[in-house]
Amino acid sequence: MVQKNLIDGEWIAGSEAFRNINPSDTNDVVGEYARASAEDARAAIAAAKAAFPAWSRSGILERHAILRKTADEILARKDELGKLLSREEGKTLAEGIGETVRAGQIFDFFAGECLRLAGEVLPSARPNIGVEITREPIGVVGIITPWNFPIAIPAWKIAPALCYGNTVVFKPAELVPGSSWAIVDILHRAGLPKGVLNLVMGKGSVVGQAMLDSPDIHAITFTGSTGTGKRVALASVEHNRKYQLEMGGKNPFVVLDDADLAVAVEAAVNSAFFSTGQRCTASSRLIVTEGIHDRFVAAMGERMKGLVIDDALKAGTQIGPVVDESQLNQDTDYIAIGRQEGAKLAFGGELLKRDTPGFYLQPALFTEATNAMRISREEIFGPVASVIRVKDYDEALIVANDTPFGLSSGIATTSLKHATHFKRNADAGMVMVNLPTAGVDFHVPFGGRKGSSHGSREQGRYAAEFYTTVKTAYTLA
């Protein structure tokens, strides 16, 4: 059965369909999904525009109930939805279920936020005048998401968009339509009025582009590559619309001489290789001071030998496959580039054979890398990390910040002085002390600086900055 697009409250088949393939076993077709056309995208935008006046004035209890019901169903079905996610994306079942729970928590959080909408009442600078500051929805929000978090990223964009009274046109990544289809189905059945949430699965160059070109989309929230992010920005400036971008990372993880070695290795392995390194918060630059360097590299090698890389759904798998062939080629190309640049491939980097045909890659660790090499400057988005040796903390901080990106930054140290200094001086939106660079909470701001992000933060109460616009009203008493 082909899973359809949702346009104006109707499930629409369209003329084409595409297959969702399991990267752990390319013989396994997860499902077939209708491919939306540019025409479908325009119909979805028109439906969202028509639905906006009523939804923007809907009661907070109605919105609360729909988001709450959605959270409950996602959490009740976490094992099934988590399995679907792991099957289509290739992260392990534990990671798939964990991400699904997080999506449920996000809907739960924003269900609560519907009941906490508030403004401010202030005295005017002039006598006998009152001032009210309120938040209003923006209008039609376009949501464009990547493949690496198939349920959490759609959740953290759709939930606040609806909570604050916007209507939505949602385009998920073509590689992973299953999880997106499932949450749209849940929201639809939870009672959303027609046209409030529209799903258009399909190609970025067609469906996504039709969204960028529409004057009727008032805001776009995008997570994906730097190149596409730039297109979103340019089109948004053209249409004078609000936009928010979450793009790449080249996140540093600093290990100081005084670090607890076991803590440092666990955090580094998690940061660099878990979720197959396919997280924008993954660390691919391990910046290590001289005194601990050799012990750290040896311990990393030992730890990496024990990693179980296999089918994402198999019990005991710690690292699943790469998401598809083109991403695998990108990873192996960068491994070749690293060698040509003179870094030493200390461990891994081999293609692996498993029981089923899939995109299996042994995590790779380079040593003797410099921060000037391409493998240290460009986002690889796979299980490939480099160790960069530095003299001391001061040099480590300079190297950590010397990157075009600024999403997440980590440090392993037992020194309060260095931890405190690093928190203040890391040029990143998120800082982790003795923790992996990836792995964030659902109720606090997420986002970065420099080439990683543009616009206000996602998640938690800070999401209101993007999904609402502020009105200041003056009244003569």
Least distance CB 229 / ligand ADP (angstroms) = 7
Do 439 and 251 form a contact (C-beta atoms < 8 A)? no
Q: How far apart are CA 237 and CA 222, in angstroms?
A: 14
Residue with tokens 């027609």: 194
The binder of ligand ADP chosen from 3, 20, 86, 145 (CB under 6 A): 145
**Alpha carbon of residue 209 to chain centroid:** 20
Contact between 455 and ligand ADP per CB under 6 A: no
Based on the residue annotation, tell me whether 266 is a catalytic residue of this protein: no
Contact between 144 and ligand ADP per CB under 6 A: yes
The binder of ligand ADP chosen from 96, 139, 177, 208 (CB under 6 A): 208
Cα dihedral sign for 392, 398, 401, 402? negative
408-412 vs 430-433, strand pairing mode: parallel
Q: How far apart are CA 46 and CA 217, in angstroms?
A: 9
Do 281 and 408 form a contact (C-beta atoms < 8 A)? yes
Angle between helices 152-163 and 60-76 (to 10 degrees): 160
Contact between 328 and ligand ADP per CB under 6 A: no
Give me Rg for the CA atoms of the chain.
Answer: 23
Least distance CB 249 / ligand ADP (angstroms) = 12
Which of these is catalytic: 99, 163, 280, 379?
280
Least distance CB 40 / ligand ADP (angstroms) = 14
Least distance CB 93 / ligand ADP (angstroms) = 22
Give whichever of 56 and 209 is closer to ligand ADP, judged by the CB atom. 209
Residues 220-279 that bind ligand ADP (CB under 6 A): 224-225, 228, 231
Residue type (1 letter), 159: A
- 455 Rama class: left (phi>0) / alpha (psi -120 to 50) / beta: left
Q: How far apart are CA 92 and CA 174, in angstroms?
A: 20
Residue 411: name the closest of 402, 420, 403 by CA. Answer: 420
Contact between 212 and ligand ADP per CB under 6 A: yes
Contact between 330 and ligand ADP per CB under 6 A: no
Give whichever of 228 and 437 is closer to ligand ADP, judged by the CB atom. 228
Least distance CB 462 / ligand ADP (angstroms) = 22
Contact region for ligand ADP (CB under 6 A) — 140-148, 152-160, 179-187, 192-200? 140-148
Q: How far apart are CA 367 and CA 55, in angstroms?
A: 55
Residue 447: name the closest of 219, 161, 246 by CA. Answer: 246
The binder of ligand ADP chosen from 173, 183, 430, 435 (CB under 6 A): 173
Query: What is the chain's percent helix, strand, coil content, to nearest 5?
Result: 40, 25, 35
Give whichever of 82 and 248 is closer to ligand ADP, judged by the CB atom. 248
Give whichever of 198 and 228 is closer to ligand ADP, judged by the CB atom. 228
Give the residues across from 430 on adjacent strands.
408
Based on the residue annotation, tell me whether 163 is a catalytic residue of this protein: no
* Alpha helices for 379-445 (secondary structure H): 393-401, 416-425
The binder of ligand ADP chosen from 124, 205, 340, 425 (CB under 6 A): 205
The binder of ligand ADP chosen from 63, 171, 293, 389 (CB under 6 A): 171
Give whichever of 73 and 99 is closer to ligand ADP, judged by the CB atom. 99
Give whichever of 31 and 165 is closer to ligand ADP, judged by the CB atom. 31
Contact between 459 and ligand ADP per CB under 6 A: no
Q: Which residues are catalytic?
A: 246, 280
State the residues that interact with ligand ADP by CB under 6 A.
Answer: 144-147, 171, 173-174, 204-205, 208-209, 212, 224-225, 228, 231
